[in-house]
Amino acid sequence: MPLPAAMLQRARDFHGTPAPARPAATVVLLRPRDETFEVYVLRRATTMVFGGVYAFPGGGVDANDRPETIKQDWSRRLGVPEAEARAVVGAAARELFEEAGVLLAGPQEQPDRTVGDVSGADWEAERAAVQRRELTMTDLLRKRKLRLRDDLLLPWARWITPEFEPRRFDTWFFVALLPQAQSARDVSGEADRTIWISPAAADGLAMLPPTRVMLNELSAYASIEGVVAASAGRDAAGPVMPRIELTDGGAVLHIP
Residue range 60-94, pLDDT digits in tens: 999 888 889 999 999 999 999 999 999 999 999 99
What's the pLDDT score for residue 48?
Answer: 61
Instruction: Write out residues in the chain with pLDDT < 70, as ranges.
Output: 1-3, 46-51
- The reported pLDDT for the residue numbered 58 is 94
Cβ-count burial 66-86 (b if 16+ within 10 Å, e if not) = bbebbeeebeebbbbeeeebb
Please provide residue 27's backbone torsions phi and psi, each rounded to the nearest 5 degrees: -120, 125
Strands, DSSP E only, in the chain? 21-33, 36-44, 54-55, 58-60, 105-107, 146-148, 154-160, 168-177, 191-197, 243-247, 250-254
Closest CA to 118 of 103, 105, 131: 103
pLDDT at position 213: 93
pLDDT of residue 50: 62
Q: What is the CA radius of gyration of the chain?
A: 18
- Return the pLDDT at 49: 61
- DSSP SS3 for 241: coil
Q: Helices 82-100 & 121-131, crossing angle to 10 degrees?
A: 130
Read off the DSSP letter of residue 18: P
Q: What is the pTM of this model?
A: 0.92
pLDDT at 10: 83
Predicted pLDDT at 5: 75
Amino acid at 17: T
